[in-house]
């Protein structure tokens, strides 16, 4: 009987899915998705493109979102009207002013939006008290 129990336990352990430490950490750090909020701390209007991991763990590049000077808002998907949500605080973004003196926020990570390649900046988003991820820019 004892031999049968040990053999059965060995079979069950061999069939169990394995999860490495990095996957466990990822699940522990990301209990639920959060909306992404954008703050334009510039007096001039800006347009924004952003690459983020959606709630299905796929990288998505979205844009253009347009914001008036000093506007704050949640990002919404144009196809559904629903808020952009992610588990991941790392995003890539590109923004530029659309009126007056030109300002641009860019980096060295090339990402495609439609037929355009944008030099996006990597950013680790801060999280507000309510859990919302916030991306903020300001003019020089």
Positive or negative, the Cα torsion across 59, 65, 68, 71? negative
Count of C-beta atoms within a 10 Å radius of residue 50: 26
**pLDDT attached to residue 59:** 94
**pLDDT attached to residue 73:** 93
**pLDDT attached to residue 70:** 95
Please state which of the ranges 7-21, 56-70, 108-122 shows the lowest mean pLDDT: 7-21
**pLDDT attached to residue 77:** 84
Run of H or E including 47: strand 46-53
Distance CA 104, CA 49 (A): 12
Domain ranges of the chain: 32-138
What Cα–Cα distance (Å) separates residue 88 from each residue in 58, 91, 92? 11, 8, 11
23-34 tens-digit pLDDT? 333 333 445 678
Q: How many CA atoms within 13 Å lie on the side-chain side of 33?
A: 12
Q: Please report which confidence band the pLDDT of residue 60 belongs to, taking 50, 70 and 90 as the band edges.
A: very high
Across 10-24, average pLDDT:
35
CATH number (1.20.120, 2.60.40, 3.30.310, 3.30.70) of 32-138 reads 2.60.40
Q: Please report which confidence band the pLDDT of residue 48 belongs to, taking 50, 70 and 90 as the band edges.
A: very high
Q: Please report which confidence band the pLDDT of residue 118 belongs to, taking 50, 70 and 90 as the band edges.
A: very high
């Amino acid at each position: 009987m004892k031999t049968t129990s040990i053999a059965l336990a060995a079979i069950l352990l061999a069939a169990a899915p394995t999860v490495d430490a990095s996957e466990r950490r990822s699940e522990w750090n990301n209990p639920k998705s959060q909306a992404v909020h954008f703050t334009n701390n510039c007096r001039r209007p800006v347009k924004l493109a952003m690459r983020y991991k959606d709630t299905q763990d796929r990288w998505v590049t979205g844009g253009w979102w347009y914001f008036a000077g000093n506007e704050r808002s949640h990002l919404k998907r144009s196809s559904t009207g629903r808020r952009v949500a992610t588990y991941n605080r790392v995003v890539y973004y590109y923004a530029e002013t659309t009126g007056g003196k030109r300002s641009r926020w860019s980096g060295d990570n090339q990402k495609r939006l439609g037929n355009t390649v944008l030099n996006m900046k990597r950013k680790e988003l801060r999280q507000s008290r309510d859990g919302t991820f916030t991306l903020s820019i300001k003019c020089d």
